[in-house]
Amino acid sequence: MRIEDIKFEQKASQRIYNDYMKRVRKATASLSKMNQDDIYMEFNSHIFEAIQHRNNTNELDSLLDIIEKLGFPEEVLKPLVADKKLEQATRTFNPVHVFKALILNFTNGISYIFFFVLYLFLFGFVFLIFAKIFNPDLVGLHIKSESPSVFVLGIMNPESKTQYGTHEILGNWFIPAMLLAILIFYFLITLLLKLKKSINQKSSS
């Protein structure tokens, strides 16, 4: 869908308008094309309607007053972009969108920092997968022979294995198990993030 830009009589007005709308585009660049267009049209319509009701006010002065009331796009759009990005992330489950959404929402509460830390913990599983490839005998799910309820997930040096009497039980299944764990925990954390967003929406409405 093509969005028609506003045409101004004065060159200075056109330049100011074009520059402002470029900043709107830039401020929403991390969002989907549909969300970018929606926000762009909203700003565009607001400026257009205000210009139509400027009466006898000079076009340039009227535009400057409108822009001043709308505010700097980089500031006024920050909460909206953060919310839209979070909505996109919890809908698509895309890891890139998730991390961008959490970074944008850092200032919106400590809970988002907590979620960010949870996602970072998933990289621990990724590290163990690579560690298992290079040190298959020392990396895995180690269980103490005398007490099966005691286990260690990670890397154990030969001395510790001997000292605590542990043995690795997953063997070649360790990497598939870690991949499955990453997938399960990623979806669970993202679902919790989606629940958190819906709770915030209900409390604010």
Nearest one of 98, 77, 83 to 28, comparing CA atoms: 77
Q: Six-digit token pair at 191? A: 């679902």
pTM (global) more than 0.85: no
180-202 pLDDT, tens digit each = 999 999 999 988 888 877 776 66
**List of residues 6+ apart from 73 with CB closer than 8 A:** 20, 23, 24, 26, 27, 43
Burial of 33 (0-12, 13-18, 19+ CB in 10 A): exposed
Other CB atoms within 10 A of residue 94 CB: 14
Mean pLDDT by 10-residue block, N- to C-terminus, for the chain (205 residues)? 80 93 93 90 92 82 92 89 86 85 79 86 89 85 70 77 76 90 91 80 60
Note the pLDDT of residue 2. Answer: 65
Convert the pLDDT of each residue in 93-125 to its tens digit: 888 888 888 888 877 778 888 888 888 888 888
